[in-house]
Amino acid sequence: MIISSSKSFDEILESLKGENNIFVIGCDVCAAKMHTGGEPEVKDMCARLEKAGKNVVGWALPIGTCSIHSYDSLVEKNTNIKKADAILVMACGSGTSIIAKLVDVSVYPANNTDSLGGIYQGNVFHAQCAMCGNCTIADFGGICPTAQCPKGLLNGPCGGSMGGKCEVNSDMDCVWELIYQRLEKLGRLDLLEKVIEPKDNVEDNSV
């Protein structure tokens, strides 16, 4: 799932300067789970925009804003979208870009897209996958260092980790510590002795 966070209302308002008739689109999948674009957040956004002097012409909540069939399917949800001069999207960057393909008015993001992560037992896990296009997570006991080590190291930790914590953020466990513990538990510490070749970034580079 895509981990997103809300932009500040001030930043959103600043970006909508000069736009009056606004339609708000949330996303009932990832953004809803992150509370950055579900029904309560969309309704709250509409109210705040109205209070700030904007004319909110309507809102919609597609099930997955990144996988919308057509513009007509948006109109089916709420015909008022036709009255909009601008659309504010409370989804991830992917959802926002899909909306931008479908409409002929300006599209603005209400969220920042942070990473590909997940939620487990109510806890949000950031950056579980870096979408490198070349998955080797089995070498690391199911914990991806490309995504979770700030340096993306593949052959072990840097010299900056201290007391099992990351050089970049001492509140964060060094992912290599976690990989070690996991592989020890699995009886597969041998995997750590393997020299891992550099990533072939061709997949990642070819958009």
Torsion of CA 127, 131, 136, 142, to 10 degrees: 30
One-letter amino acid at 167 equals E
Of the residues 48, 151, 182, 188, which one makes contact with other proteins according to CB under 8 A: 151
According to the binding rule CB under 8 A, does residue 134 interact with other proteins? no
According to the binding rule CB under 8 A, does residue 168 interact with other proteins? yes
The number of residues that bind other proteins (CB under 8 A) is: 25
* DSSP-assigned letters across all residues of 1-54: -EEEEEPPHHHHHHHTTT--EEEEE--TTHHHHTTSSSHHHHHHHHHHHHHTT-
According to the binding rule CB under 8 A, does residue 153 interact with other proteins? yes
One-letter amino acid at 48 equals R
Q: How far apart are CA 62 and CA 110, in angstroms?
A: 16
According to the binding rule CB under 8 A, does residue 197 interact with other proteins? yes
Q: Select the span of 38-46, 58-66, 128-136, 192-200 touching other proteins (CB under 8 A).
A: 192-200
According to the binding rule CB under 8 A, does residue 161 interact with other proteins? yes
Q: Which residues bind other proteins (CB under 8 A)?
A: 150-162, 167-168, 176-177, 180, 192-193, 195-198, 201
